[in-house]
Amino acid sequence: MSYIFNNPDIILKLLWEHIVLAIGALLIATVIAIPLGYYIHGKQKLTTVVLGILGTLYTIPSLVLMILLLPIFGLNATTVVVALVIYCQIILVRNVIAGLDAIEPGIMEAAQGMGMTRAQQFIQIQLPLILPVLIAGMRLSVVVATAIATVGAMFGAGGLGTLLFNGISQGRFDKIISGSLTVSLLAIVFNLSLQFLEKRLGKPVS
């Protein structure tokens, strides 16, 4: 613990790097998952195939996935972010589809029958209605990303993992404990804040 108080500048710098990694990956993943989920929603076969692929990718150990990506993206934060984005996809795409499926067919029929274009239907009706489910997925994703980003330190992405790996090689338990504690705290804060957002958005729904 004393390491945290004695080296606040190091901790803050690594914490910031870690936040950028996790949030950056989350945002990129969400921007990909929404159109992907929207497109494959309602197409039974395609959904099975895409979710199958994403699910398989999710089972690859993080270290292995990053090593596989290394030749393509190099030894830097990009490799780590790409890996995180891939891990988040299965969670986010599945939730986008679940959200769209949960919308009562009558609602979409009314929207269409009233003369809304597809874009208007999505922006005005579907997106707001799937928001709570989407945010639930984002919450889980960011926690997963926070945990896995720790490995990123080995690939030159920085972040709180640096403390862990340094601690292990130097035999410094104080560094290991400070690193793990801060990562855990970060995950908890992410989780709580998105949970709060999720509840705020839980407007009355028939």
Partner 1 sequence: MSTIRFKKVVKEFTGMVRPALNRIDLSVDSGQFIVLLGPSGCGKTTMVKLVNRLHEPTSGDILIDDQSIYNGMDVIHLRRKIGYVIQQTGLFPHMTVEENISIVPNLMKWPEEKTKRRVDELLDMVALPPYEFRDRYPAQMSGGQQQRVGVARALAGDPDLILMDEPFGAIDAITRTDLQDSLLKLQRRLRKTILFVTHDVDEALRLADKIAILREGLLVQYGTPLQILTQPNDDFVSKLVGADDIVRQLGQIRVETVMEPLIDGAPVKQTIYRDESLRVALSDLVKSKQDLLTVVDSGKQPLGTITYDIIRNSVG
Contacts with partner 1 by CB under 8 A lie at 104, 106-107, 109-117, 120, 124-125, 128-129, 203-206
CA distance 100 to 139: 18
Q: How far is the CB of 124 from partner 1 (least distance, A)?
A: 8
In the complex with partner 1, the residue whose CB is nearer, 45 or 169, is 45
Joined together, the tokens standing for residue 118 give: 């597809």
Q: How far is the CB of 117 from partner 1 (least distance, A)?
A: 6
Q: Is 44 exposed, middle or buried (CB count within 10 Å of its CB: 0-12, 13-18, 19+)? A: exposed
Q: How far is the CB of 141 from partner 1 (least distance, A)?
A: 23
158: Cα within 13 Å, side-chain hemisphere: 15
Q: How far is the CB of 102 from partner 1 (least distance, A)?
A: 11
Q: Which of 152, 40, 131 is nearest to 85 (CA)?
A: 152
